[in-house]
Amino acid sequence: MAINSGDTAWILISSALVMLMTPGVALFYGGMVRRKNILSTMMMSFAILGMVGLLWVLYGYSLSFGADNGGVIGGLDFLGLRGVGQEPSAVYATTVPHLAYMIFQAMFAIITVALITGAVVERIKFSALLIFSALWLTFVYAPVAHWVWGSGGWLSRLGALDFAGGTVVHICAGMSALALSLVLGPRKGFGNGSAMEPNNIPIVALGAGLLWFGWFGFNAGSALTAGGLASSAFVATNTSAAAAAFTWMFLSWLYRRPTLLGTATGAVAGLVAITPAAGFVPPLAGIPIGIGAAVVCYYCMILRTKWRVDESLDVWAVHGMGGTWGALATGLFASAAVNSAGADGLFFGNALLLGKQLIGIVTVWAFAFGVSWVIAKVIDMLFGLRVSPAEETVGLDISQHGERAYGSLLR
């Protein structure tokens, strides 16, 4: 098929938008940790921008989108971008250069790895995090991306719907974050009354703002064309984010006061939940999906706190459970009238889709959690996952990176 310049422009811009989300994650997480760990928290995202940006063009894209092997994993035919050029691919995004589609997908891989880091801030050894990230990209992300989006992937053949990555990105990151944090263990002082005070909530809000902005590329870009479907996904995305931010604000108001931290978190939860649904549901379905996302993620955070698990920045609650709600909601609100490549959901008379969504959810839960747990255990045995107690007390900014965020007046 011929290259469409409108589509190409939109996919390239969307790739840049999604790229900006990873610095957004850096700020969003960086503001929430104690001031001695802000740099190390942000550094994780920036190091992943570097490392995954390389691994993806070398072999990641090929494992995810190369010729199918039994529905499970892509082949090595695109190794080092061999055969990925200025002409469109025969199967993926056939109106834009194959290179544009490849780099759009690269940004998804990068941010998914970066999302996990929220679980392990303030105590993971930087080198161990890099090793985990590289192995995780290879053994968790690449296969799941192939199952859902790869030509011939078994979940896509089954008919499970995931428009922009509710399963591939959010459920995957959330369940893996939980597994990694369980192997790593809690921060010193966690749960015994020691204050873990966020160092800079304005930075958190700025990060959430960049995420919201970039998410238009993530979801509307996933239409892979610059037209009606992209517009529909765009409106659904903003509607869900708005509904969830507003709902979370009221939840924290019911508790005591309406907090900025809660409202920003709510926006992210709404964006997560609409991700699998954006291009399959009518735009106004963003309202119930967003409200549901805030409620689900809010109570999952309370649950996680009750379990006394130090999954520090709630990647499981927001991305794992928000993504799960979004994947289920896709099975409820999807309509073939919105996207002929989709299907009707339960509310449009087709209960079967909900079953397919459930199969996708449960499989990816188990796979992401299990493989991540094994990778984390192996790294822990071979190299150790944690910094020393002294390094943890001093803070990771100094102990892992030899720098500090805020200069002093006196020294």
Q: How many CB atoms lie within 10 A of CB 2?
A: 8
Residue (297 or 364) nearer to another protein, CB? 297
**Stretch in the footprint of another protein (CB under 8 A) among 46-54, 141-149, 297-305, 354-362:** 297-305
Phi, psi at residue 135, to the nearest 5°? -65, -40
Residue (200 or 259) nearer to another protein, CB? 259
Choosing from 7, 314, 344, 392, the residue that interacts with another protein (CB under 8 A) is: 314
Residue 295 as a binder of another protein (CB under 8 A): the answer is no
CA dihedral 153, 155, 161, 166 (to 10 degrees): -90
Residue 302 as a binder of another protein (CB under 8 A): the answer is yes
**Distance of closest approach, residue 262 Cβ to another protein, in angstroms:** 6
Closest CA to 270 of 344, 211, 201, 310: 211
Number of residues that bind another protein (CB under 8 A): 18
Residue (68 or 314) nearer to another protein, CB? 314
Q: Which of residues 265-284 bind another protein (CB under 8 A)?
A: 265
Q: Which of residues 226-265 bind another protein (CB under 8 A)?
A: 252, 255-257, 259, 261-262, 265
Distance CA 379, CA 239 (A): 42
Distance CA 387, CA 159 (A): 44
Residue (150 or 207) nearer to another protein, CB? 207
Residue 196 as a binder of another protein (CB under 8 A): the answer is yes
Residue (195 or 390) nearer to another protein, CB? 195
- Which tokens sit at 251? 């939840």
Measure Cα distances from 61 to 11, 80, 104, 196 in Å.
Answer: 17, 9, 11, 39
Q: Which of residues 33-52 bind another protein (CB under 8 A)?
A: none
Choosing from 195, 254, 381, 410, the residue that interacts with another protein (CB under 8 A) is: 195
Length of the chain: 411
Distance CA 357, CA 128 (A): 34
Residue 193 as a binder of another protein (CB under 8 A): the answer is yes
Let me know: does 109 contact 303? Beta carbons within 8 Å. no
- Which tokens sit at 114? 């970066």
Let me know: does 335 contact 168? Beta carbons within 8 Å. no
**Distance of closest approach, residue 305 Cβ to another protein, in angstroms:** 6
Residue (64 or 252) nearer to another protein, CB? 252
Interface with another protein (CB under 8 A): 193, 195-198, 252, 255-257, 259, 261-262, 265, 298, 301-302, 305, 314
